Amino acid sequence: MTKKEILENTSFGESIAEQEADKLKDYFFQTDFWRSVRSGKNDIVYGAKGAGKSAIYMSLVNDIDSLFDESILVSLAENPQGNTAFSNLTNDPPTSETEFIRLWKLYFLVITSRVLEEYEIKDKSASKIRQILTDCNLVPAQNKLASFLKVCYDFMKSFRNGKEVSTTAEFDSMTGMYSGQKFSLSFGEPSKSDFDKGLIPIEHAFDLLEKSLAENKIDLWIIIDRLDVAFLESEELEANALRALFKAYLDLAQYKSIKIKIFLRDDIWQKITSEGFREASHITKYQNLSWSKDTLLNLLIRRLLDNEVLTNEYNLDKKKILGSIEEQEALFYLLFPGQVDLGAKKPTTLDWALSRTKDGKGINTPRELIQLFTHARTRELKKLETGINNLENDQIISRQSLKEAIEDVSKQRMEQTIYAEFPQFKDYIEKLRDDKADHILETLSKKWAITILEAEQIAKELEKIGFFEQKGTISSPKYRIPFMYRPYLDILQGSATI
C-alpha cells in the first residue's frame, strides 16, 4: 500500500471518550487507575481535563452487562452523552446545601429503583421501595434522567422552610399525627405511630435497598460523570451541588452494598474545597489520574495497533509490542521521525510532543497528545494528496506535519478550554499576544494597565487554570506561557520587556 492509503485507513481514535464509546473496549488502556475503580477499591476519580476520567467512566458504562454477571448492578446518574440531566436546575435551583443533599439522596433512590425494576429484582424490600416512591409521585411518566430529577426536586421542595416532613403528607387535624393511608417519605425521624402508618424516613428506604441487594447477593454502583458541564451557569450552584454530593456520598457510605462512583475534574474539586470543606478529610477512597511518558506512549501505541491495515502492512506482533516498552518505543520511531527539530541538543520526538502538549501545571493528558497526532495525520494526508512527500523510510507522519499540528492543538486548547471555560480572562490573555513567553509582574502590569498588586492576583488565577507556569521565587515571581499556548497567540521565546 502507498503511504497515502495507509494513512487513510489509520486513526488515533477520538480525543474525547464520549465520542468513541464503542471503540474504547478495543484499545482501552487498562491502567492501575482503571483496575482500582473496576475492582471496587476506589470510588472517586480526580484528574485534569482530558486525563481519562470519562474513558474510565465509559468503560464502566460499556461493561454494565458484564458487571451484572459479576453481581454488580450499575445505575447511571448522568447521561453519558447529550444534554445533562441537571440542565433544568439552573432556572430554579435548590436554595440551600441541605436541600441539595436531600435531592441527591432522593435522586439516587429513584434511579436505583428504576434499575431494580429493569433487572426484574422484585423481592419484598424492592417492591416496598417501589410502592413508597409511587405513593410519593416519584415515578415519572418518561424514563429519562431529567424526568427522574424533576419529580425528585418537585417532591423535595415540599420540605422547604426547615420541614423534615413533606407538606403533602396527610395529618390528623386534631391529634397532629400522620394519618395518610399511603406511604410518605420523611427526612426526619417520625414517631413509631407515624412510622407504622406509613411515614418512612429516607434512611429506612435505603435500609430496604441494602436489604434487597443483600438478599439478591449483588452490589450497587451509582456512577456519575460530566459534573464539569452539569452546573455551568453558576459557580455558586456548582459549589453547593458538589459539596452536597460528597456529603450525600459520606452519609450513604454506611451501606456496604451501595457504592457511589464520582468522576470529577481536579480543578473543580480544588475550587469547591478552597473555601473550606471539613468533610474532605473523610473521603479516602479516591485516586488522582496522572500520566507518565511511558503510559502515554503505551496509550498511543495501543491506538495505533488497533488499526488492522497498519498491523498488516508492517507485520506487527501486537502481543510482543505491548509486552515491552522498548518494543513500543521502537515502533514509535519506526512510524515517526526521531526528532522534530534537528540538532544534537534538541529533544526526541516523543519528548518534544510531551513538552508541546503540557500545560502550566506541568500536566500532560491523553487528550492533547491524541489531538496532536490526529491533526498531524490530517496535515500529512493533505500534503500527500497534493504530491508533497516529506516522509522518510517507514514513517507515516513527517516532522513538518507534527510541527504544523501544534498550531491546531494550540487553537483547540485556547478556544475550547481556556476561553470557553474562563472567558473572564480572555482580555488579559489577548493583551499578551505577539509578545514574549516570560513575564514578570512589572511587564504584566504594563500590558494590562493595572497595578502590580492587581497583576499579581490575575497572574495567580491564570496559574491556577494552567495558562501560566510559575517560575522564579515567591518574592520575585516570574510567569512563563507554556509551548502549548504560544502558536495561537504568536508568542516568541524570551523575556518580555517593560
Neighbour tally for 257: CB within 10 Å: 19
Say whether both 296 and 183 belong to one domain: no
In a shared domain, residues 87 and 129: yes
Most distant CA pair in the chain, distance: 92
Residue with cell 505491548: 322
pLDDT of residue 168: 64
Edge to edge, what strands does the sheet with 469-472 contain?
Answer: 469-472, 477-480, 436-440, 492-495
User: Looking at residues 152-170, what average pLDDT do you find?
Assistant: 72
The per-residue pLDDT for 82 is: 79
Instruction: Give residue 465's pLDDT.
Output: 93
Residue 372 maps to a domain:
yes
Q: State whether 342 and 486 are in the same domain.
A: no
Which is more confidently placed, 269 or 396?
396
Q: What is the DSSP letter of 387?
A: T
* pLDDT greater than 70 at residue 22: no
Give the separation between CA 224 and CA 111, rounded to whole angstroms: 12
On whether residue 436 sits in a domain, the answer given is yes
Tell whether 46 is covered by a domain.
no
**Of residues 180 and 409, which shows the higher confidence score?**
409
Query: Phi and psi dihedrals of 276, rounded to 5?
Result: 100, 125
Instruction: Report the CATH number that the domain containing residue 448 is assigned in CATH.
Output: 1.10.10.10
Q: Are residues 318 and 373 in the same domain?
A: yes
Can you tell me the distance from the alpha carbon of 213 to that of 341, in angstroms, rounded to the nearest whole number?
60
**Does residue 381 have a pLDDT over 80?**
yes
Query: Is residue 27 pLDDT above 60, yes or no?
Result: no
Kindly indicate the confidence band of residue 213, based on its pLDDT and cuts at 50, 70 and 90: very high
Q: Over the stretch 264-283, which tens digit does the pLDDT of each residue have?
A: 888 888 887 777 777 777 78
* Residue 255 located in a structural domain: yes
The total domain count for the chain is: 3
pLDDT for 23: 58
Which positions ≥6 away from 388 have C-beta within 8 Å? none
pLDDT at 179: 63
Q: For the ranges 77-91, 207-221, 362-376, 483-497, which has the lowest average pLDDT?
A: 77-91
Cα separation of 217 and 228, whole Å? Answer: 34
> 131 — phi, psi (to 5°)?
-65, -40
447 pLDDT tier (thresholds 50, 70, 90): very high
Higher-confidence residue of 29 and 41: namely 41
User: Between 84 and 435, where is the model more confident?
Assistant: 435
- CA torsion sign for 112, 114, 118, 119 is positive
Q: Indicate the average pLDDT of the chain.
A: 88
Q: Is the pTM of this model over 0.85?
A: no
Q: Quote the percentage of the chain above a pLDDT of 90.
A: 60
d(CA 403, CA 396): 14
41 located within any domain = no
Query: pLDDT > 70: what percent of the chain?
Result: 92
Tell which of 390, 421, 452 closes a domain: 421
Is 360 domain-assigned? yes
Measured CA to CA, the distance from residue 322 to residue 317 in angstroms comes to 9
Last residue of a domain, one of 421, 439, 463: 421
- Is residue 28 situated within a structural domain? no
pLDDT computed for residue 334 by the predictor: 97
Q: Is the pLDDT of residue 15 over 60?
A: no
Whole-number pLDDT of residue 20: 55
Higher pLDDT, 171 or 18: 171
pLDDT number for residue 279: 77
CA distance 377 to 15: 14
Greater confidence (47 vs 483) lies with 483
Between 318 and 268, residue with greater pLDDT: 318
| Grid cell locating 42 | 476506589
Same domain, 309 and 200: no
pLDDT of residue 396: 96
For residues 340 and 351, membership in a common domain is answered with yes
Is the same domain home to 125 and 239? yes
Label residue 98 by pLDDT band (50, 70, 90): confident
Strand ranges (E), 92-181? none
- Residue 245 CA to residue 261 CA, distance in Å, equals 11
pLDDT higher than 60, residue 29: no
Is the per-residue pLDDT at 387 higher than 80? Answer: yes
Q: Which residue has the higher pLDDT, 187 or 18?
A: 187
- Of the CA atoms within 13 Å of residue 80, those in its CB half-sphere come to 21
Q: Which has the higher per-residue pLDDT, 14 or 196?
A: 196
**Least confident stretch, 186-190, 203-207, 230-234, 362-366:** 230-234
The residues, ordered by sequence, that sit 6+ positions from 492 with a Cβ below 8 Å of its Cβ are 435, 436, 437, 486
Residues 147 and 231 both lie in one domain: yes
Task: Write down the pLDDT at residue 160.
Answer: 64
Q: How open is the CA angle 94-97-100, to the nearest 5 degrees?
A: 50
Fill in the amino acid letter for 247.
K
Question: 88-114 b/e with 16+ CB inside 10 Å = b?
Answer: ebeeebbeeebbbbbbbbbbbbbbbbb
89 and 228 in a single domain? The answer is yes
Cβ-based burial of 139 (10 A; exposed 0-12, middle 13-18, buried ≥19): middle
Instruction: Say how many CA atoms lie within 13 Å of 286 toward its Cβ.
Output: 19
Beta strand 219-224 with 199-201 is: unpaired
Give the mean pLDDT of 397-420: 96
Write down the pLDDT at residue 335: 97
Residues 172, 255 share a domain = yes
- For residues 353 and 491, membership in a common domain is answered with no
The predicted pLDDT at position 87 comes to 79
Q: Is pLDDT at 426 greater than 70 in this prediction?
A: yes
Q: Are residues 220 and 324 in the same domain?
A: no
Of 402, 421, 440, the one marking the end of a domain is 421
The tens digit of pLDDT for each residue in 295-308 reads 999 999 999 998 99
Q: What CA–CA distance (Å, rounded) separates 130 from 119?
A: 14
CB atoms within 10 A of CB 358: 19
Is the predicted pLDDT of residue 21 greater than 60, yes or no? no
Q: Could you tell me the residue range of the domain that residue 453 belongs to?
A: 423-495
How do residues 226-254 score in pLDDT, each as one tens digit? 888 877 767 778 888 888 999 999 999 99
- What is the predicted pLDDT for the residue at 115? 94
On whether residue 199 sits in a domain, the answer given is yes
